[in-house]
Structure 1
């Protein structure tokens, strides 16, 4: 994990792409996009192997089991659309129910899933906790302490003579943008103008993966 000081709080950017707030025992994940393969098949798009939801839930389950959070915040686009939430297989629904049991489980609304998913937990447009503001899409005029997702940021890195791209956290000290946690999610390069417009000087990317690397966003 990569520890960072963020507007007076100590947070941990985990190698999985999840965010951990130890003081509050709060785990935050963004852009699970559960049901993506079902949604693409339903709408006549390209076919994906129908295991994306299971793989995403396995990785989320591992973090919940390891950290035992009191609160879990799903930072929007938890489902590829609301119909995908309704079409989840029964074992996936039971899996989510088990993970949420005994915790404050919060679904933040995203652009893919603007309404309650019809599962356990509670639904909110955004969440304010202490100095932090959790929402799905970053606001250009947001106060310091904003945590968001939506853009699925990725950064390129030269490793052993090869150019690789990894999902990453992005922060300039005032805002923090999480990577997508879901399987089969694409990504936007950190140099994209949409992300450059949001970040102040001295922004950095914290790459996910077994060996985390923090690099400046140039």
Structure 2
């Protein structure tokens, strides 16, 4: 499987090239910040239109990850929808695809700041969820321990053959793991931004996604 294996809270985890987190012992796949319905929400609020293909692409990539891992449990770490209305205005084929992905699996929706309430789709809706030593929530908390979160859409840069390459990235230290955004139309916040560089401990690592995922010391300067 294309990804980077690492240990966190004494658990064997894998940061997949797609930006999903895989916990093989529990057959659990975790994704964050799908932001389904972003193009529809922007059009609804009068913003410049985006091509309305983000839901299709995001769900298809998730389907590939589920097929490859044979995951039996899925945790969506909040901001799965760009707002609560976006979960209602999904096209029927998109709702059917989500139902198909959920079939035979335990599915947990963690609430985010964009979707802070129940959604009318299958699965369980929680503010946060503890499984073994890990705590799954949308936004990292001060003093958090063994915490898996999203929200910040982290990205990091590395020089490859003299060129600077920027990719979505997992950020990892002794206490917290922050996932990159999984959604097709999501932007990113550089790891050097104070919101992240002040949050992550000295010695934090970044795991860059993409066709050749790699782990590097977390960049703290632009």
Name the structure 1 match of 2:132: 130
Give 1:123 deviation, angstroms: 0.2
Deviations 1:134-183 (A, max 9, x none): 0000001212x100000000011222332221000000122000000000
Give 1:50 deviation, angstroms: 0.2
Q: For residues 24 and 173 of structure 1, what CA distance do their matches in structure 2 show?
A: 21
Give 1:78 deviation, angstroms: 0.2
Q: Is residue 2:186 matched to residue 1:185?
A: yes
Select 1:49's aligned residue among 28, 39, 51: 51
Give 1:53 deviation, angstroms: 0.4
CA RMSD, 1 decimal: 0.8
TM-score (norm 2): 0.96
1:87-126 correspondence runs (5 A):
87-126=89-128
Q: For residues 215 and 68 of structure 2, what CA distance do their matches in structure 1 show?
A: 24
Name the structure 1 match of 2:196: 195
Q: Is residue 2:144 matched to residue 1:148?
A: no
1:196-211 correspondence runs (5 A):
196-211=197-212
Give 1:197 deviation, angstroms: 1.9
Q: For residues 18 and 173 of structure 1, what CA distance do their matches in structure 2 show?
A: 20
Q: For residues 80 and 137 of structure 2, what CA distance do their matches in structure 1 show?
A: 13
Q: For residues 214 and 46 of structure 1, what CA distance do their matches in structure 2 show?
A: 36
Name the structure 2 match of 1:170: 171
Give 1:196 deviation, angstroms: 1.4
Give 1:66 deviation, angstroms: 1.0
Structure 1 unmatched ranges of 5 or more = none
Q: For residues 99 and 2 of structure 1, what CA distance do their matches in structure 2 show?
A: 25
TM-score (norm 1): 0.98
Conserved? CA contact 2:77–2:109, under 8 Å: yes
Give 1:83 deviation, angstroms: 0.4
Conserved? CA contact 2:153–2:180, under 8 Å: yes
Q: For residues 197 and 46 of structure 1, what CA distance do their matches in structure 2 show?
A: 34
Deviations 1:12-44 (A, max 9, x none): 000000000001000000000000000000001
Secondary structure (helix, strand or coil) at the match of 2:125 reads: strand
Select 2:33's aligned residue among 5, 28, 31: 31
Q: For residues 156 and 11 of structure 1, what CA distance do their matches in structure 2 show?
A: 23
